[in-house]
Amino acid sequence: MLGLEKSDFRLLLLVIVLTLFAPFLLNPFPVDSTMAQFNAGYPDLMQRFVIFGIFAIGFNILFGLTGYLSFGHAAFLGAGSYAAIWMMKLLTMNVIPAIVLSIVVAGLFSLAVGFVSLRRSGIYFSILTLAFAQMSYSLAYSVLTPITGGETGLQPKIDDPRILDSVLAVGQQARANLFGLDMSTSHDLIVGGWAFTFNAGYYVAALLMVISFYISIRIFRSPFGLMLRAIKSNQNRLGYTGVSARPYTLAAFVISGMYAGLAGGLMVAMDTQAGAERMFWTASGEVVLMTILGGAGTLIGPVLGAGMIKYMENIVSKINSTVLEGWFAWMPEIIQDVVVAVVYPFVGKGWHLTLGLVFMLVVIFLPGGLMEGFRRISDRFFGGSRKTDNSTGGTTAPTAAE
């Protein structure tokens, strides 16, 4: 269906169902319970899940399929953000032109960067993309201040032209909308002790993520995707057969750049501001972490990785020593103190430490990421020969053997 094989279609359906019911699934604890702080079903975080999911899906098309490790993808996300915010300042607060332009601008930008960077491969490619991204970041902070707003970034102002919008009433703020539907509109549904929030912005972003996911499945299963995988497994041999790898890698680079631009545009659509810090190389590193954690080269892995990192960033970072003491209150005092002291460095402000450790463990023991972990577990329980729906295999293959 939809041009997909049965198993891929099931996966797509699963993703649709999960994103549709995310407000329920992410809020499993009643509001008043002590576990309520683990609820991730508030609009801001749900939006981040899907936006970074899109970013990671796009990055995976480049890294997962071709093996080219870009350390500069945040530049495209930043460029998309700036394009979107300018659209909102000049044209209309409707998110559609903003998102469309952010994809186009990021695509063109990645075409230019990719054209140059892809002349080299391996570590040189990583350094080149890193250099371009850092250059964009520095320029956005300094010389390009008239376009980027420098350190303060950009926000829609009252006196922006916005030629398509009607003049704002006095005291009214410019809000991102979709044909009048405010992106921040939320509907709260209260069932017993549970509260579920349905947010317009989230569903717009989720729809785009489902579409992005569908496109990425099609790319994975297409002859083009096969070509990209051939590049990953042995570029030399591909050259001997008379195929030039450059147009394929460039296409993959631009596609992933456009995904990043879409993510950047959506960020602006959800929260109307843009700043240069989105282009900093740590942001590029973050999407690498997401993709590897989830499983590079698998369809659903990067989305899981993005969700996991954003969950840690927003939920684990909130655990402080009082919360820990609450959890371990049933223990004898001395043991409780020891346990709290041991656990404390890994949560709260130290969540990066947990992230770093988990990431290292994944790279060392599970090169295929969480998806490989799931597959190993399911192999153990459901017999060895069962093939998972979404593993493409070859995720652990060396990038380029002589």
Which residues of this protein are in contact with other proteins, per CB under 8 A?
A: 67, 69, 116, 119-124, 126-128, 130-132, 134-135, 138-139, 141-144, 235, 281-282, 285, 288, 292, 345, 350, 352-353, 355-357, 359-360, 363-364, 367, 398-400
From residue 219, give the alpha-carbon distance in Å to each of 212, 229, 309. 10, 11, 25
**3-class state of residue 199 by DSSP:** strand
Question: Which C-beta is closer to other proteins: that of 92 or that of 117?
Answer: 117
Shortest CB 256 distance to other proteins, Å: 16
Which lies closer to other proteins via its Cβ, residue 67 or residue 264? 67
**Complex with other proteins: residue 172 or 282, whichever CB lies closer:** 282
Put residue 21 in one of left, alpha, beta given phi > 0 → left and psi -120 to 50 → alpha: alpha
Q: CA 124 → CA 57, 58, 73, 272, 287, distances in Å?
A: 23, 21, 15, 36, 19
Residues 6+ apart with CB under 8 A from 83: 98, 101, 102, 104, 105, 106, 261, 264, 265
Indicate the residue among 104 and 144 with the shorter CB distance to other proteins: 144
Kindly tell me which of 21 and 124 has the beta carbon lying closer to other proteins.
124
Residue 156 CA to residue 174 CA, distance in Å, equals 7
Could you tell me the CA-to-CA distances from 129 to 116, 153, 279 in Å, in that order? 9, 23, 12
Shortest reach from residue 116's CB to other proteins, in Å? 7
- Output the smallest distance, CB 349 to other proteins, in A: 8
Other CB atoms within 10 Å distance of the CB of residue 160? 17
Residue type (1 letter), 1: M
- Residue written as token pair 């969700």: 307
Residue with smaller CB distance to other proteins, 273 or 399: 399
Q: Give least dist CB 262 to other proteins, A.
A: 25
Burial of 312: CB neighbours in 10 Å, binned 0-12, 13-18, 19+: middle
CB of 396 to other proteins, least distance (A): 9
